[in-house]
Structure formats: C-alpha cells, structure tokens
Chains A and B, each alone.
Chain A
C-alpha cells in the first residue's frame, strides 16, 4: 500500500538507512577510492591509477590465498554441511536427543578468540593434548607440528572450524527434518524401507532448500573467514595458511600499504559476491530443470 505520509515513511526508514550508509556504504565507496592511490597512512597519498590492481593480479601470495580459501570451503562443506546432515539424520529419528543437540551446538556460541586460543593449545607440539594422546596411543610417529608444518596447518584450522559449525548446520537440518510431513516417511517405512534409505532417498531431497542455504552460508562464510586464521597462525607459516582476509589485514597494518590493501579488499568482495550470486543462479537453474 502507499505510504500514509511522506514524513512517516522517512521517519521509518531514515535511521536504518542513515547508519548503514554512514558505516557500510560510504566506507565501501571510500575503500574503492583509496584503491587507486598509494598511501602509507602518514604522508600524502599519491595517485596510482590501476597499478594496485595490476599488482594484485601478479601477486602470487594473493593468488595462493584464494586456493587456500577454496580448500577451506571444500573441507568445511564436508565437515560442516555433510557431517551436519548425517548427524541431523541420526538425531531426527531418535528421542531424548537434548544432550546431543546441546553439546554439539555449544561451540557455536563461543567467541572465536576463545576457540582459537584453546585449539592453539591443543595443537601445541610440546604441551598440547593432541600430540600427547597420539603418544599415549603408541602413535608417536603421527605427531606433528600441527600449526607449523605447511602440510598440516591449513587442514588443522579447517577441522577447528568443523568442530564449531558442524553443530550449527546439524541444528538447521534437524529443524528442517522436523518440518517434513510425517505421512511420507511413515508410508515409506511401512513399505519396508530402512532408516538409511529413508534418509537418503526421501528426507535429504525434501530439504533441498535448506541444503542450498547451508551451502551458500558455507561459501560466504568461507570467503569471509578471518578470526581463526588470524589468531592461530596469522597466515603462517610463511603464508601457507594465508587467506584473503588475513593477507589484506597484513598488507594494511603490518606493511602500511593502504592503497594496495584497498584494492585487495575490493577484489575480495567481488569474488565473494560472484561466488554467492553464481551459486544462486546455478541453484535457480537446477530448480527450473527439476520443474520440467
């Protein structure tokens, strides 16, 4: 319906839009502007044109960050979404699951700093419990410098993320399963279908919408991932766990290259946006195919 009064409309909209423009849109435009300059934060900025962007395309470390983030997204898709789905499958067909649901969800509530510090201690090569447990189990040769060895560092961080968010996705899927019409499931089991078959052939396809939202969240969360990487390894050792966001923060604050960092920021946002939109379009296209 049309607004009752112009002033009323303004009053309703203004606060939210104003704050948003001031704190998000304007800075984003500002960052875009800064990306065309060279600036160290103290002296005067100098015009750089598209030099920063050209440099980003040649920057091998920057390119490697996207590979790391891709690995991160793929691993978390398995350890968070897939595992969450399986856990939800088990839980939704049982009673008295309060303990399970609550305990697996707790990590989601905790500040990422706590998680990062805790797991850094767990992964500590000399004092952490991971290496100690391996030793106690007689598997000393599997001990590693988890966060210091380029071969294990990235995966170690991915697993921490999985520890946190598998419970989150599990909760999403449990809720989705609970909304499914019980008649379909009951009739299938009467027809002799086993639990696993019901899960795979009926339940999962029926919550397809939730699954795609989950995958989307995983992708966008992955590109934006920062806290764990920053606190646990800060992109180390020597850039092998560097993700776009940590590299960006490093460029701006450790190297003092504000212009270049801004260009990186814009590029990262573009990638994230395209990834999300691309996924959505692919989803919609798949949806259309199904409907034919």
Chain B
C-alpha cells in the first residue's frame, strides 16, 4: 500500500513537471538564437542575454498593448462590480413582477456564446461609430460579465438570513440605503469573486478584441500578440521572449494571490 502511494506521488510529480515543460521550454528558448532553436530544440541556452527582452518589448509595442488591456479590464471590472451588486441585490431580495423573467434572461447569457450575437453587435457598433474606441470592448465585456457576476452576487445574498434585511426595512431604510450601508460591506467575498472572474474574462478575451479594434495604439494584449506572432512568426527567439514577458507577470500574480483566486473560482462554480 505504502509503495503504491509512493508510486502515485511520483507519477503525479512527474506529470506536473511534464505539464510545466512547455512553459519552461518557452522561457529558455528566449535565450537561444533562432539557429539554436531550430537545430537543437531541446538544448539548454548557452548565453543568458537579457537584451532580447528589451528588443521584443519595444519592437512589438507590448507595453502599449498591456496598458490597453489594463485600462479596458479595469473599467469593465469597475462597472460590473457596481451594476451586478445592485441588480443582484434587487433580484434576490425584492419581489416584483418580472423578477423571474429578468433572472432567466441573465441566466441565458451564461449559455449564449459570443458568436450568437457578435454579428449584429458588429453592425450596431459600426453604425454608432464605436469601433476603434475602448468602449467597443468595455461595453461587450461588461455585458458578457454580468450574467455570471449577478449570479454570484445573487446566490450569495440568497444565502444570507432574511431577517437582516427585514430589520433594516423596519428601521426605515430605503432599498438604496440598504444597498449602500448594509449590503456592500457584507457581500465582499462575492464581490472578490466577481472581480476575479470578470478580470480574467476581460483580460483574456480574444475574438472581439481582434474584430473591433484595428487601431494599433488601442489594441489589447491578445489581439496585439496575434499581430506580433504573425509578424515575427519565424523569428522564434523574439516570439518566445514576448510570450515569456506576457506570461511571467501573470504567473507571479497568480502565485501571490493563489489562495484567493482558487478559492473564488472553485466556490463560485460549486454553489447551486
């Protein structure tokens, strides 16, 4: 039994190492010249020259893409947090006709792929001259993040004792006041989950980022990376350097906040 467990452990660690191999290869290859990469893919780099990162960064305009992604994600998260907490509160605690209908409408959004509506959305944005502006991404990202966010907030509020709210109502608070003073502080755990999910979705979104923004100076990271990768397709060293630079901060962020992130992600999908 013991040895079986040891064998199992060994296998798992081997698997984890194998799973990390692609990322390790990507990182090490940034230090190898193109010739080395193509002739000796598995070999270790001989020099560790950091200048390739600088070149890749400036050539590719990665900094600009990252800033754009950051702005779009930040604004999207901000709007989603506010609007979803308000709506989630109303849908959870307030009785009114159409309550179930609206909930159903948002739930549908969880199942609807973006491909179902981006065609008409593209036309609408064209007509309103929204293309090539940051709002062309912020608005859809917000709308796409709302179903999950509202569901997270709503199920969290659902699980709170109703006496809490009845007490506030007896004290004479209006719904808005209840929302501001009572709700917001309490639903912090749900809001953290909303922030994580929405940020992840907005940061990594690819299709709309590619379609709606053609202006180089406004492109977000996923679209910019695609342009970069097709331009430097055969310059592997620069390509890997760029990929590494984009990946490393995310990995560091994840390791630092790993407890909150995994807790949020797994809790979120377990409820209900």
Nearest-neighbour CB distance to chain B for A227, whole angstroms, equals 5
Q: Kindly report which residue of chain B lies nearest to residue A227, judged by CB atoms.
A: B206
Given the known interface contacts A16-B87, A227-B207, A273-B111, the answer about A113 and B102 at a Cβ–Cβ threshold of 8 Å is no
- B174:A102 contact, CB within 8 angstroms: no
- B12:A15 contact, CB within 8 angstroms: no
- B124:A4 contact, CB within 8 angstroms: no
Interface flag for A2 (CB, 8 Å): yes
Given the known interface contacts A105-B262, A128-B41, the answer about A19 and B94 at a Cβ–Cβ threshold of 8 Å is no
Mask, A219-260, CB within 8 Å of B = 1, is 010011011001100000000000011001100110000100
- B254:A27 contact, CB within 8 angstroms: no
- B87:A175 contact, CB within 8 angstroms: no
Q: Which residues of B contact A118 (CB under 8 A)?
A: 22-23, 26, 243
Considering the chains assembled together, what is the distance between the CA atoms of A269 and B249 in angstroms? 36
Nearest-neighbour CB distance to chain A for B139, whole angstroms, equals 5
Interface size on A, residues (CB 8 A): 96
**Dominant SS among interface residues on chain B:** helix
Q: Which residues of A contact B226 (CB under 8 A)?
A: 113, 117, 231
- B204:A17 contact, CB within 8 angstroms: no
- A172:B266 contact, CB within 8 angstroms: yes
Interface flag for B48 (CB, 8 Å): no
Considering the chains assembled together, what is the distance between the CA atoms of A3 and B169 in angstroms? 10
Q: Which residues of A contact B270 (CB under 8 A)?
A: 172, 175-176, 209-210, 213
- A249:B207 contact, CB within 8 angstroms: yes
Given the known interface contacts A19-B146, A20-B106, the answer about A268 and B116 at a Cβ–Cβ threshold of 8 Å is yes
Interface flag for B156 (CB, 8 Å): no
Considering the chains assembled together, what is the distance between the CA atoms of A261 and B119 in angstroms? 8
- A8:B206 contact, CB within 8 angstroms: no
- B120:A132 contact, CB within 8 angstroms: no
- B90:A269 contact, CB within 8 angstroms: no
* Residue positions of B touching A, CB distance < 8 A: 1, 4-5, 8-9, 12-13, 15-16, 19-20, 22-23, 25-26, 37-38, 41-42, 79, 82-84, 86-87, 89-91, 93-96, 102, 105-106, 108-121, 123-124, 139-140, 142-144, 146-147, 150, 162, 165-166, 169, 173-176, 178-179, 200, 203-204, 206-207, 211, 221-222, 225-226, 229, 236, 239-240, 243, 246-247, 250-251, 253-255, 258, 262-263, 265-267, 269-270
18 A-B pairs (CB sep. < 8 Å): A1-B93, A1-B95, A9-B175, A11-B176, A19-B83, A23-B142, A27-B120, A30-B121, A90-B12, A99-B16, A102-B254, A103-B19, A114-B225, A117-B243, A128-B41, A136-B42, A220-B110, A269-B116
